[in-house]
Structure 1
Amino acid sequence: MSYVTSIQPDGTPTWIDLRVPDRERAMEFYGALFGWEYDSEAAGARPGTDPGLDLGTMCLLRGRPVAAIVQDPAAKGIGWTMYFATADCDGTAKRVADAGGTLLTAPTDVGDAGSQGRMAVAQDPVGARFGLWEGRARLGCEVVNEPDSLVRNDLVTPDPEPARAFYASVFDYTLDLNETLPDADFTFLRRKDGHEIGGIFGLRAAPSSGWATTFEVADTDAVVGRALAAGGTAGAPEDSPYGRIATITDPFGAEFSVITRAA
């Protein structure tokens, strides 16, 4: 079991949340896909929410937080937002601005006097939205890299070069080409310790730039079937060197992927 029990190193994807115009419908959909349970009482500890607004609902797997869903009438087109871990939200926010990014939400405390953490939301120079999370009592996702939890985040953009320069500048990532897929314009992002946190996929045909969220599942085909039955849409599952993968779109237009990883 892949439990997270301590604050993640800087630059690690550590949390995800989804803003939707109908939270109850979203809870129904994602519960059907992943078997998540929900805890509205715990949502105040969730990164990404102004304490004065609707605090949303924590998504739980075996009682541990894996994501959050928040009601937002203006949420159309936002989709899943991924948050990078940082030990200094204010300092990293400054690096974002200095590197050419835009702060959409300035660093803000979450919980009483910031007891749970401190967060910000930003946009990179190619238009992709992401968050920063300085964890304190609230770590972020506490289950990862196993079925029904977050396994990967990759940036898809028609303009990869500025994105590579930006993220390397903000988080001191090392950039490595992906030799497994020689025909793809894909660059691994690695922390200072060499750990791969995701990558940047240059796709000239992409209509916009965005961080793609991928969940691990035990059976991609079965999850696609459940998504269709629950009112979503999905592409046909495909085999890749990394496993069997499919792209799903929820009833609100938020796109994400699921993968059954290769043995």
Structure 2
Amino acid sequence: MPVRNSAPVGAPTWIDLASSDVERSQAFYREVFGWTFDSAGPEYGGYLTALKDGRPVGGLMFNDPQWNSPDGWTTYLHTADAQTSLDNALAAGAISCGAPVMEIKDKGWMGMLSDPSGAFIGLWQPTGHRGFELVNEHGAPVYFQWTGRDYCTALKFYHDVFGWSIESVSDTDEFRYSTANFDGEALLGLMDGSAFLPEGQPSTWSFFLGADDVDKTVQVVLDNGGSVVRDAEDTPYGRLAAVADCTGAGFNLSSLQ
């Protein structure tokens, strides 16, 4: 079981879902990945921690209509100082989400922003909550990806603000892609979407959850009210698929290599 104590600084460290139907979402992820859920209690607004084999893999909370946003997942980057990271990001062209850095009692400090290309991303400075502890297993995070048209802007932004060590994988008009490496391991990628994304579409962050059998997991997603965004296909990086859960929140599936 690939268990980790913490993510490298600058790398993804947590994911959570804002759902308009928390009970239905719990049932979905329980059936698809075998997740169990632990409530933080009313002190934390009923926030739920999703567990796989007893280890945290993500969070779940109610998507308040006042937020005026569709159900969806948020990725958080590990920072040693959320306020400094937010200040540096804004100075480098990020867009403020209007909320200050907030302390989550006994857990950590949280910040939110949109990068200069419009991709929404969270910041997490851990104190008591270290982030997801299980990786590269069925139902646990495997990989993260930024996709957008402002590829060069994103490369510079994340390098300057978060100190990423970026390596180009391909640099053609058909496929332009880089990875960010932490301690020699590529934990995330940045894809140039200029060839297929419509003009004006904001960039996005997405993630991949491991699947013992991608095709079977896609079917379980469908059986539990989810949908397929992109059919399963073999790639040089494994068998991949893009799906959405029972309330429309998207995520990706990846075979385990």
Distance in 2 (alpha carbons) for counterparts of 1:158 and 1:182: 12
**Alpha-carbon shift at residue 190 of structure 1 (Å):** 2.5
Alignment of 1:1-263 (within 5 A): 1-5=1-5, 7-41=6-40, 51=44, 54-74=45-65, 76-77=69-70, 79-104=72-97, 105-111=99-105, 115-179=106-170, 183-191=174-182, 193-204=183-194, 205-206=196-197, 207-234=201-228, 235-262=230-257
TM value normalised by structure 2: 0.90
Unaligned 5+ segments in structure 2 are none
**Alpha-carbon shift at residue 181 of structure 1 (Å):** 9.2
Are 1:65 and 1:143, in contact at CA under 8 Å, matched by a contact in 2? yes
Query: Cα 1:228–1:180, aligned 2, differ >3 Å: closer, same or farther?
Result: farther
Are 2:20 and 2:71, in contact at CA under 8 Å, matched by a contact in 1? no
Query: Cα 1:146–1:94, aligned 2, differ >3 Å: closer, same or farther?
Result: same
Query: Cα 1:78–1:230, aligned 2, differ >3 Å: closer, same or farther?
Result: closer
Distance in 1 (alpha carbons) for counterparts of 2:96 and 2:181: 24
Unaligned 5+ segments in structure 1 are 45-50
Distance in 1 (alpha carbons) for counterparts of 2:180 and 2:154: 11
**What letter corresponds to residue 101 of structure 1 in structure 2?**
A
Q: Secondary structure at the match of 1:144?
A: coil
Distance in 2 (alpha carbons) for counterparts of 1:103 and 1:2: 35
Q: Which runs of 4 or more aligned residues in structure 1 lie more than 4 Å from their structure 2 counterparts after TM superposition?
A: 179-183
**What letter corresponds to residue 208 of structure 2 in structure 1?**
T
**Alpha-carbon shift at residue 43 of structure 1 (Å):** 8.7
How many residue pairs match? The answer is: 249
**Alpha-carbon shift at residue 63 of structure 1 (Å):** 1.5
Q: Secondary structure at the match of 2:179?
A: strand
Give deviations 1:142-187, integer Å, cap 9, x for gaps: 1112111011110011221111111111111122111499941111
Are 1:178 and 1:186, in contact at CA under 8 Å, matched by a contact in 2? yes
**Alpha-carbon shift at residue 73 of structure 1 (Å):** 3.1
Give deviations 1:111-141, integer Å, cap 9, x for gaps: 1xxx211111111011101111111111010
